[in-house]
Chain A
Amino acid sequence: MTYLADVAALTRKDLRVELRGRDTLPAMLLFVLSTLVVFHFAIPADAGDNAAYGLLWVAIVFTALLGLARAWVPEQEHGVLDGLVLAPCDRSAIWLGKTLATLTFLLAAQAVALPAFVLFFEPLDATAIAGVLLADIGICAVGSLMSAMAAAGRAREVLLPLLVLPLAIPLIVGGVGAAVSEDGGRFLLFLLLYDAVFAVLSWASFEYVVTE
């Protein structure tokens, strides 16, 4: 219970910091909407459903990257990460709190982006939406860890996409597969497996990222 209380306190703190600073979510919303608008005018009308779903995933992944790039900025200002690392809580709670907060921002961005996609392009069925939600969990779990690693280095903005994008490829495959395949359930199962494996790996390895 103490662990969950720590996670809740850390998540609440991130949401409060964002609510006050408004540094991340407005940028994510603006980016995902403008990307979909640009795609709407850029791709030919006869390009087909599959191309549209592909573009949706380009927008989702880069919107997530935008959020992840700013995920640890509040901790870098005033050196707060050292303060959190010194606290006697389980250090994985810091990662889980950050993952849940980033996931909240991504879901909020998608609450606007998915209706916009339906408006501009194609309808989305339940399997496609489930694919998006499962991929969100995976990208936030892995991305929060990679973002912490990148934040420790000097070239955070350059390093983060290099670390996250290769790991996000299976999520894109699973997400697009869930949207376009006849057997979308298989892709959902694949995404679920990815989430479970990478969430456990990220949870277990976070301590080694933030300590020597």
Chain B
Amino acid sequence: MIRGRGVEKRYGRKRALRGVDLAVPRGGFAVITGPNGSGKTTLLRLLVGLALPTRGDLLVDADRSRIGYLAHEPLVYRELSAVENLDLFGRLYRVPERRERIGMLLGRFALWEARNERVSTYSRGMTQRLALCRTLLHDPDLLVLDEPYSALDAEGTALLDEALETLAGQRTIVVATHEPDRLAPLQTASLGLA
């Protein structure tokens, strides 16, 4: 599903990602590790198509509509409620039975009670859980998650663990994390960036 050879990204004279080789088969679970500034986020942005490689070959066999991207930032509007945000993205992603799917995800990530409150009133953990709902809303084939555990409390962490266990093997998943041990039972491939 993902094949990259010598993938490099530069912003002007600054090299954000050194030549990376990467292969993740369909249904694989790849964990990307590395210190801050090693290019994890850059690599994920290349995978989802938000940036183009400066050098090397990168093939991602997934249509834009089938990719779910959890970024550092939650990619949701602060002035809208959880339901309004998910409804907007559900429309843009042509999610069938949108309302049912939104209700199911909000229930699963324990946001149902706060569904009509503005995101600006949410804690960081709640916002991260909403970002996970947005990422999973269209049931993507390829999940690209950037530090998914950041800001999550124990309950949120358990919910994410459960979701990843359910999806592992059925979906292709790429996760950049500082906590690789947590994902070790699920991972089928790993990449360490220096």
Contacts and interface: CB of A to CB of B under 8 A. Distances in A.
Interface of A: 2, 5-6, 9-10, 13, 16-17, 20-21, 74, 77-80, 82-89, 211-212
Nearest to B72: A79
Contacts of A9: 88, 91-92
Contacts of B75: 78-80, 82-83
Chain B facing A: main interface SS: loop
A2 B94 CA distance: 9
A82 B72 CA distance: 11
Contacts of A74: 77-79
A80 B77 contact: yes
Contact of B64 (A5, A10, A21, A88): A88
B20 interface: no
B138 to A, nearest CB: 9
Interface of B: 48-52, 63-65, 67, 69, 71-80, 84, 88-89, 91-94, 118-119, 127, 134
Contacts of B74: 78-79
Contact of A78 (B77, B84, B89, B93): B77
7 contacts: A13-B77, A13-B88, A78-B73, A78-B119, A79-B74, A84-B92, A212-B52
Q: Which of A10, A80, A82, A89 has the most CB of B within 10 A?
A: A80
Contacts of A212: 50-52
A87 B93 contact: yes
A86 B77 contact: no
Contacts of B84: 13, 16
A82 B49 CA distance: 10
Q: Which of A84, A87, A89 has the most CB of B within 10 A?
A: A87
A130 to B, nearest CB: 34
Nearest to A19: B79
B92 A6 contact: yes
A88 B78 contact: no
Contacts of B77: 13, 17, 74, 77-78, 80
A49 B65 CA distance: 56
A7 to B, nearest CB: 11
A89 B94 CA distance: 9
A74 B78 CA distance: 8
A82 B71 contact: yes
